A and B are shown apart, each in its own frame.
Chain A
Amino acid sequence: GEDVEQSLFLSVREGDSSVINCTYTDSSSTYLYWYKQEPGAGLQLLTYIFSNMDMKQDQRLTVLLNKKDKHLSLRIADTQTGDSAIYFCAESFSGYSTLTFGKGTMLLVSP
């Protein structure tokens, strides 16, 4: 995870918006992903964005990409207690390349 950095912890109240941030170092990254991992569970692909996009919205999720600053964010609207999990940012290149993950951000949603 040394090429992808995330803040380690975020705490919000139910109903608020959550914003999880990620920075990456490799400007040749083509695909940027957000995965969700609940305790003891697998990695669930939430959404992804291609590097030629600035924004992608999918229901409660909004991904913003600032290529100049190499900054990616995930906004979760109307955060629910079921959103409590670890969120991983990951980057890859086109083709068959592998993912490089950040250390993950633990999101805690309180009632």
Chain B
Amino acid sequence: AAGVIQSPRHLIKEKRETATLKCYPIPRHDTVYWYQQGPGQDPQFLISFYEKMQSDKGSIPDRFSAQQFSDYHSELNMSSLELGDSALYFCASSLGGAGNTIYFGEGSWLTVV
């Protein structure tokens, strides 16, 4: 079965650079979530979208932005990167209003040097 696809899987950036992560949800899923997991930490919710509109907002820094496109894929844009942004970024998807079972992608490893 198709899963949540994230790209790139690994990314190395320098401080103050910009990075973009992409997420392709499970087909027919209309809700996308972004989570950040620091080393040894639990995943922290950043932001979510339902039907291309922002549905919820968590601890996403102002330097970050995200959107969901007409084909339901989503992109997380991170600017002015800091060392503390180094983390595993998960995208997850669900079919909103139908049991809320949330499936995660494999994650994108971002290392800021």
Query: B45–A99 contact, CB under 8 A?
Result: yes
| Contact (A31, B42) CB under 8 Å given A41-B106, A96-B50, A97-B56 | no
Is B90 engaged at the interface, CB distance under 8 Å to the other chain? yes
Which residues of A lie under 8 Å from residue B44 when comparing CB positions? 101
What count of chain A residues pass the 8 Å CB interface test? 24
Size range of the chain B interface in the assembly: 20 to 34
Query: A97–B100 contact, CB under 8 A?
Result: yes
Main secondary structure of the interface of A (DSSP, over half): loop
Query: B107–A42 contact, CB under 8 A?
Result: yes
Q: How far is the CA of A30 from the CA of B97 in the complex (A)?
A: 13
The residue on B at minimum CB distance from A99 is B102
Query: B100–A96 contact, CB under 8 A?
Result: yes
Which residues of B lie under 8 Å from residue A101 when comparing CB positions? 42-44
